[in-house]
Every structure is written in structure tokens, then in C-alpha cells.
Homo-oligomer: A and B are copies of this chain.
Amino acid sequence: MTSAQNATRERILASADQLFSKRGYAAVTLRDIASSIGIKHASLYYYAPGGKKELYVAVMERNFLRHRQGLTDAIVRAGVDVRMQLYAVADWFVTQPPLNLSRLHEADMDDLGSDQADALMTLAYDAMRTPLRSIFEPAAAAGLVQIHDFNVAALALVSLLQSVHNVPAHYPMPVRYQIGHTLVDMLLDGWRTR
């Protein structure tokens, strides 16, 4: 496989990622993906002989692994303070396309085989849980936070932070970062007055 092959496949996967993440499996056509990078849809079968399903699975695997790596790196760079680590997590999700876990296992997975769907969902959940556990576990051990179930907390944090993608489209990036930090503050400090 030449590097030119890899480059084209890379452009395909990157564009498909944007489209699938935004609209979901059913609402994206192979012609959408192909035209977004200036080729015809039939050419996609040269890079993904399995067709739309193979493309979707490949894209989502990449997607989840990127999240896992991106979150891990962001947390490490943020230092040892829990709030700064969670700000870094929020910043990461602001820069990423929406991660619609609910749509993922309620709709998109119906078009895949159940074994492939299970494997993908496990990959997705691990991509969130593993990095976030590296925040929760030391903080809980040090008595800084009180979290009973790390898995529920991880899903809750991810679900909460996705609401930054629900603000009107014209909101500029700086405001989106600000909202992300506000959401973290909510979860960390709580609404109740102390």
C-alpha cells in the first residue's frame, strides 16, 4: 500500500467521520462522503470493498480510539488538579464533533450485525471510562470528590458535556469553551448552596 493510498483513505475516513458523527448512519449516503472529497461514490469501494457498513465501522473505531487517546493526553497535560483535568475534558469535547452515544446504540447499531454492534459499543464506552477513571480514582482516594459509581459518573459527564453542541449554531468558539467550563463547575460544585 502506497502512501498516496493511505492519504486518500485518510481523507475518506476523516470526512466520513464528520458526516456520520453529525447526521448518523442512515442519513449519510456514500455520495455525500464521496462528493465531500471530490470523487465519485463508486471509487469508495476501492478503499472499502465492504461498502457503507465497513466504512462506518472503520470510521467509528477510529473515532473512539481518537477520543480515548485525545482524552488521555488532555488529562495528562492538565496536571493534577481535578477541576483543571475536567476543564481539559470539556475542551476536548468542544473541539470534537458531537458524540451521540444515545443515537449510537438506539439507532445506528440496528443496521449492523449484533456482534459487531456489541464490540463497537464496548469500544465506545471504554474510550470514555478508561481516561475518566484516571481522574476519578485518585481524586476519590484522596477524598477530594465523592463518587459512588465511576461508570455512571463517566457516562453522566460525557452526556452532560454534549449539551455544548445544543447551543445555537452562531455561538463562537470562546463562548463554547466557557459553557463547557460552566458545566464542569456545575457537576463539581453542585447547584445547592453550601
Contacts and interface: CB of A to CB of B under 8 A. Distances in A.
Q: How many copies does the complex hold?
A: 2
B189 A192 contact: yes
A143 interface: yes
Interface string A153-194: 101101110110111000000000001001100111111111
Contact of A191 (B98, B153, B163): B153
A188 B179 CA distance: 18
A4 interface: no
B23 A107 contact: yes
Contacts of A146: 191-193
| Interface size of A as a range | 35 or more
A162 B159 contact: yes
A137 interface: no
A31 interface: no
Interface in A135-158: 143-149, 152-153, 155-156, 158
A102 interface: yes
A105 interface: yes
Nearest to A160: B160
Nearest to A86: B191
A143 B152 CA distance: 29
A70 interface: no
A115 interface: no
Q: Output the residue of A101, A144, A160, A165 with the most chain B CB within 10 A.
A: A160
Interface in A1-55: 22-27
